[in-house]
Amino acid sequence: MHTLKELRSGRLKGIKRLSISEDLTSFPIEILDLADTLEILDLSGNQLFSLPPEIKRLTKLKIAFFANNRFTHVPSVFKACENLYMLGFKANQIEVFDEDVLPLSISWLVLTDNKIKVLPASMGKLTKLQKCALAGNQIEKIPDSMAACTKLELLRLSANNIKEIPLWLLELPRLSWLAFSGNPCSRSTESTLAETAYSDLEIKELLGEGASGKIFRAHSKELGKEVAVKLFKGEVTSDGYAKDEMNAYMSTGEHEHLIKVLAKIDGGKGLGLLLELIPSRYKNLGHPPSLESCTRDTFEEGKALSVKAVYKIAKAILSASSHLHSIGLMHGDLYAHNILIDEDHHCYLGDFGAASFYDVDTAGYEKVEIRAFGCLLDDLLQLCSDEEDEYYQCLKALRDRCMHEDTASRPLFSEIVL
């Protein structure tokens, strides 16, 4: 993190990345002096509501973040920034998104948690768009022009007012990760899962934290054993409503590769779930996408997997995914970073923050998630060097079927045999 004082002193001359959070109410004009080198600008956590037209001088700018500010419009000043590929205005007060205000270079757009009702038809001109986060707005319709966004891979639509998911959206050739819970178009479900009192739990150490909440180790006096407790942060998360994630978890049923949900928590600190405690030997298979990888997971440098390990993981996730889709539940975030794995390559698929219920008679939803499964196979095969192995060739062929750009040519999970 940098300071305004450092910027004004000239000591930051030549830097590629600038981050300032000091309750700024106006754009520091000195930032323009960094035009020759600045690639990443992060002015999140300020009080900004407008940007100067001179920002077009930042011709080398690639990424710009303005989360948690006071913008009411999507600014048009970036139109001339032809190298800008990521733009984020999460958690502002944006109501107006005018036509043709974004550069056509945008591949990653974040407008989560605003007040947008109408998306411009010009969204369809963003043909390089790969990742688009629109959860937590008041959007009623996805413009048909976006059928031209054929490179779109990840789309977050949860917690809006969307009445219908258009069929053309499900037929986009690269769409893999879709979330739309908390909309009129999303089938809702209520679970009859047992309740446990928060007062029955002895909360212990923090085990992990994600976008939607924190997971603690705890002791359940009623069950007489150690459990995991997931406490949700609030009503709306980066993927949608916490209550929808809870309902997804509670509806998963029992499966060898899904973490068992024991009860929902009554009282205490808001929404919560009681989960089976997974042994500490289980670790995340991968890491979330980076600014460079955009939609694809990242892995520890030097990480390698045998082809037999990849096969075992693939078979487990295939089984879990087939189970979920049999009840009309789309995971929405089928990634290595949401898979817990031990040294024997037994794994669990977790994190249902982006999960959505759908009508099982519409196969298009499953065909979208099949591509996500293909991307997972693709990522894991790149960690494997046994290219001549018959298992490798089998998985490679399956990857290609799952990632076929003609969605009708992809298999369903239940049709895949490993």
CATH number at residue 365: 1.10.510.10
Q: Residue 269: what pLDDT?
A: 66
Q: Residue 116: what pLDDT?
A: 98
Tell me: do 214 and 255 sit in the same domain: yes
Q: How far is CA 261 from the centre of its chain?
A: 22
Tell me: do 323 and 411 sit in the same domain: yes
Residue 235 lies in a domain: yes
Q: What total number of domains does the chain contain?
A: 2
Tell me: do 270 and 304 sit in the same domain: no
Tell me: do 216 and 309 sit in the same domain: no
Tell me: do 336 and 249 sit in the same domain: no
Tokens for 347?
């794994």
Tell me: do 288 and 368 sit in the same domain: yes
Residue 86 lies in a domain: no
Give me the average pLDDT of each 10-residue run along the chain (418 residues): 94 96 97 96 98 95 98 96 96 97 97 97 98 97 98 97 96 98 85 84 90 89 93 76 88 94 81 92 96 95 95 98 96 97 96 92 94 98 91 96 97 95
Tell me: do 393 and 325 sit in the same domain: yes
Q: At what angle do helices 364-381 and 390-402 cross, to 10 degrees?
A: 140
Residue 303 lies in a domain: yes
Which domain range does residue 203 map to?
A: 195-275
Residue 318 lies in a domain: yes
Residue 157 lies in a domain: no
The pTM assigned to this predicted structure is: 0.95
Asked if residue 368 lies in contact with residue 196, where contact means CB atoms within 8 angstroms, the answer is no
The dihedral sign for the CA sequence 215, 216, 220, 224: positive
Domain end marker among 247, 275, 303: 275
Domain end marker among 219, 252, 275: 275
Q: Which of 370, 250, 367 lies closest to 317 in space, CA to CA? A: 370
Tell me: do 232 and 252 sit in the same domain: yes
Residue 185 lies in a domain: no
The dihedral sign for the CA sequence 90, 93, 95, 96: negative
Q: Residue 190: what pLDDT?
A: 67
Q: Which of 377, 396, 393, 387 lies closest to 339 in space, CA to CA? A: 377
Tell me: do 263 and 336 sit in the same domain: no
Tell me: do 233 and 295 sit in the same domain: no
Tell me: do 337 and 248 sit in the same domain: no
Residue 327 lies in a domain: yes
CA distance 199 to 221: 9
Q: Could you count the other beta carbons within 10 Å of the beta carbon of residue 288?
A: 16
Domain end marker among 257, 275, 293: 275
CA distance 154 to 166: 16
DSSP codes joined into one string, 274-292: EEPPPPTT-EESSB---TT
CA distance 165 to 332: 15
Look at strands 201-209 and 17-19 and give their pairing: unpaired
CA distance 358 to 370: 15
Residue 329 lies in a domain: yes
Q: Could you count the other beta carbons within 10 Å of the beta carbon of residue 157?
A: 26
Query: 111 forms bridges with which residues in the sheet?
Result: none
Tell me: do 303 and 245 sit in the same domain: no
CATH of the domain at 205: 3.30.200.20
